[in-house]
Amino acid sequence: MEALASALAQALPAEIFVYFLVLVRVGAALQSMPGLGELAIPQRLRLGVALLLVVVVAPVVGPTLPRLPESAVAMAGLVLGETLIGVFIGLAGRFAMSAMVVAGSIIAQQIGLSSATLFDPGFGQQGAALSAWLVAVALTIVFVADLHHLMLRALVDSYALFPAGALAPLGSYADALVRWTAHSFLIGVQISAPFLVFGLVINLAMGLVARLQPAIQVFFIAQPVQIAVGMLALGLTMYAAIGAFERGLTDKLEPLLLAP
């Protein structure tokens, strides 16, 4: 019995360390991952999902994890590295979601709804009402199209691409974040491109009419028509917008998968 108790006392901290280390990466990813890491989701629910994923993932990746460090400095460095990797993977999806914010802001500006603001629970800030609506639609598509499975696969595959305990490639992380920012802005502009043309044409037309007939309140009369036509155009282009969002999210996640 004493030998069994001694063996258990030596093995238990190592087992706990495996689950703790997996929790650090998984928890950091869920804090920024779209759909599962929204600010509107209670912290207890997010913690419960993280613990459930840890129970599933830890037995699979446990043999590849480093041993329990002997010093506090090594432990702190290991936890910091796992946190950076988790946040990096979560941001891959979050940057794709920001494309919808960019598109919503541009569309609202062009169709005359820029003053209609709403609190966006996904990003925790005030923004255009159209942006909040597009983000809600994108979150729905994430779950309907099983894109959250793609993000979870990237999280599991990250243990092969970014081994725990290895030196984090900070330069590659920074380069990827810059490219994701540019790509998200590009996707947002592509989604809103028809509305940029629409806004240019209608503003030129209203300016011309106002120049020819100064007594007529052209902008006051034309604004309801501008909003109505803009909302109709939004409905007609939503299919293409959602397709662009899906491609943008997939393009960011595929490099993080072992077998796309």
Task: Return the domain boundaries, the chain.
Answer: 2-256
**Residue 1 — pLDDT band, cuts 50, 70, 90?**
very low
Q: Tens digit of pLDDT for each residue in 2-59?
A: 454 455 445 557 677 788 888 888 888 888 888 777 777 777 888 888 888 888 888 8
pLDDT in tens, 119-169: 666 666 677 778 888 888 888 888 888 888 888 888 888 888 888 777 767
Q: What is the 3-state secondary structure (H, E, C) of the chain?
A: CHHHHHHHHHHHHHHHHHHHHHHHHHHHHHHHCCCCCCCCCCHHHHHHHHHHHHHHHHHHHHHHCCCCCCCHHHHHHHHHHHHHHHHHHHHHHHHHHHHHHHHHHHHHHHHCCCCCEEEECCCCEEEEHHHHHHHHHHHHHHHHCCHHHHHHHHHHHHHHHCCCCCCCCHHHHHHHHHHHHHHHHHHHHHHHHHHHHHHHHHHHHHHHHHHHCCCCCHHHHHHHHHHHHHHHHHHHHHHHHHHHHHHHHHHHHHHHCCCC
pTM: 0.79
